Amino acid sequence: MARRVGIREVADAAGVSVGTVSHVMNKPHLVSEATRTRVRSVMLELGFVRNDLARQLKMGGGTTLGMIVLNVANPFFADLAHACETAGEQAGHTVVFGSSDQLPEREDRYLDLFEEQRVRGVIIAPLLGTTDRMHRLRERGMPVVLFDIHAESGFCSITMDGRVGGELAAQHLIDIGRSHIAFVGGPLHQVEDRWLGAQGVCARHRGVQLTHIDTPDQTIADGRVAGEMLKAIPAEDRPDAVFAANDLLAIGLLQALMVSRELRVPEDIAIVGYDDIDYAQSAIVPLTTVRQPVDQLAEHAVRLVLDEADNPEHVHEHRGLRPELVVRASTAGNDAAAPAALGTGNHP
């Protein structure tokens, strides 16, 4: 059994030159029909598989995009990755993923890996802004697109407009008559814009108080901890509404609040989440949340990174996409928590 069959073996077996075999694969119109079919059948017979490494090496980098995501286990990022995969495929590119798991060293590792692999470009949800490594990457001509809350100059970015999202959330809570809002989420630099959006709205309303409850990360577990803190606050000082920096936190909060029926959602505490992950609407109390247009985010990211790769006159672009409020039971007025509210805000 011939272990490795390359273009050369195929050429020999078909009685043509290697150049011709290559042409059969890449420029079939340059080859006569007779040889084309002959070569093709020899390939099949020998089980030839083109070596993409050599191909890319020769062609100076390939058709692969690298994507680094904060955490695949977070459904928002899973969806985003999935959307990028689809968008990339449509543009004829394959997207490979890495999850930084919020660890700077893993982020670095994937950046290095992608650069060594000579990917066409990198799409990254950075841990905390741009790092030296990213700047070096850019200097060496690698297209880099950020999913970030800040618009960093020198990079294309999709700034997920958390400010507007924060405003929507806070305004909604004020509209339903709440006056003491807790913003739950951290580290602050990662969610700063949502915080600022909420802050801006609250400042414009007399008698509305906003406090910040920090969390080390944005998982369900962190939400639970925050919920316990909330419960520990004496009733008179306790916020009557929570704006959680993402849905996972909100779900954790729900768990903590409901486990010991002391506090009711939304009667005692209304909750707004962020991202509209699939489970938001199926939570123990369906969650009011701020939806981000994931598909469009992905599409823009892919478009920008490819433009930067192809277009010599590329100019960096900062794109902000407007999020949208989805109201469900966790903030619904009177028949709150009623399963009847479940359907609200369903995806199409």
Measured distance CA(163)–CA(293) in Å, rounded: 15
* Residue 315 binding: pick among a copy of itself, DNA, none (C-beta 5-8 Å cut-off by kind): none
Residue 269 burial (CB < 10 Å; 0-12/13-18/19+)? buried
Interacting residues with a copy of itself between 69 and 108 (CB under 8 A): 72-73, 75, 78-79, 81-82, 85, 94, 96-99
- Minimum distance from CB of 309 to DNA (Å)? 16
28 phi/psi in degrees, rounded to 5: -55, -25
DSSP state of 236: G
Interacting residues with DNA between 56 and 95 (CB under 7 A): 57-60
Q: Is 47 in the site for DNA (CB under 7 A)?
A: no
Question: 27 or 206: whose CB is closer to DNA?
Answer: 27
Distances (CA, A) of 37 to 208, 220, 262: 76, 58, 76
Measured distance CA(23)–CA(27) in Å, rounded: 5
Closest C-alpha to 253, from 213, 291, 211? 213
Q: Is 113 in the site for a copy of itself (CB under 8 A)?
A: yes
> Residue 202: which H helix or E strand, with range?
helix 188-203
Question: 38 or 109: whose CB is closer to DNA?
Answer: 38
- Minimum distance from CB of 331 to a copy of itself (Å)? 16
What per-residue string of b and e applies to 205-228 under the rule 16 or more CB within 10 Å gives b? eeebebebbebebbbbebbbbbbe
The tokens describing 284, both together, are 């123990």
Closest C-alpha to 158, from 326, 295, 52? 295
Measured distance CA(248)–CA(230) in Å, rounded: 16
Taking CB under 8 A as the rule, which mask of x and - marks residues 165-204 in contact with a copy of itself? ----------------------------------------
Query: Which range touches a copy of itself (CB under 8 A), out of 12-20, 127-135, 200-208, 273-281?
Result: 273-281
Interacting residues with DNA between 8 and 27 (CB under 7 A): 8, 15-23, 25-27
**Number of residues engaging a copy of itself in binding (CB under 8 A):** 55
- Minimum distance from CB of 28 to DNA (Å)? 10
Choose, by CB under 8 A, the member of 139, 175, 236, 313 that binds a copy of itself. Answer: 139
Place of tokens 């925050």: 226
91's torsion region: left (phi>0), alpha (psi -120 to 50) or beta? alpha
Residues 6+ apart with CB under 8 A from 128: 187, 189, 190
Query: Which range touches a copy of itself (CB under 8 A), out of 53-61, 208-216, 233-241, 312-320?
Result: 53-61
Interacting residues with a copy of itself between 316 and 345 (CB under 8 A): 339-340, 342-343
- Minimum distance from CB of 338 to a copy of itself (Å)? 8
Q: Is 137 in the site for DNA (CB under 7 A)?
A: no
* Residue 26 binding: pick among DNA, a copy of itself, none (C-beta 5-8 Å cut-off by kind): DNA
Distances (CA, A) of 50 to 9, 56, 112: 12, 11, 26
Query: Which range touches DNA (CB under 7 A), out of 5-13, 140-148, 250-258, 327-335?
Result: 5-13
Q: Which residues bind DNA (CB under 7 A)?
A: 4, 6-8, 15-23, 25-27, 30-36, 48, 50-51, 54-55, 57-60
Q: Which residues bind a copy of itself (CB under 8 A)?
A: 3, 47, 49-57, 72-73, 75, 78-79, 81-82, 85, 94, 96-99, 112-113, 115-118, 136, 139-141, 220, 251-252, 254-255, 258-261, 278-279, 281-286, 339-340, 342-343
